Amino acid sequence: MKKLIALVVIALGMSITTQAQDKMMDKSVKTISLEQVKGEFVQKQVTVNAGTYQFAIANNAVGHEVGFVLVKKGNDISKPENHIKTAYVTKTVATGSTETSKATPLTPGEYVYFCPMNPTSTDNLLIVK
């Protein structure tokens, strides 16, 4: 009988923990995965629906650390005040690894993205419908 009660308590505890974790995870955040190679992003243009996204930036044999900058198209990319700071990766991306940004709300429009460390073209385009 004690074993049965112990199993019920364990099962109930696991159920509560699982439910709490599910509530903590924001299922509305989607991921946009981008890969950098020497001098460029593999994906030159990406189209998504408006929403909240996290950027996952992969460094595929660039040979040094890389980063990620997102700017609303038409704004001066050289001015950090125009950068969407939540889209920055949370730490630089080492060769052979992937790092992510914070959740970034994207409204309809066009955005350009680039890596100031690689350096990549500044005409990569993210279209948000």
Pair 126, 46: CB distance under 8 Å: yes
Q: What are the DSSP E strand ranges found in the chain?
A: 29-37, 40-41, 45-48, 51-59, 69-72, 98-100, 104-106, 109-114, 124-128
Q: What is the pLDDT of residues 53-98, one digit of tens each?
A: 999 999 999 999 999 999 999 999 999 999 999 999 999 999 999 9
Q: pTM, whole model, 2 decimals?
A: 0.78
Instruction: Give the pLDDT of residue 1.
Output: 52
Look up tokens 């005409």; give the residue.
123
Q: What is the pLDDT of residues 62-73, one digit of tens each?
A: 999 999 999 999
CA 10 to chain centre: 36
Cα dihedral angle (107, 110, 115, 121), rounded to 10 degrees?
170
Distance CA 26, CA 103 (A): 10
**Does the CA dihedral 52-47-119-100 come out positive or negative?**
positive
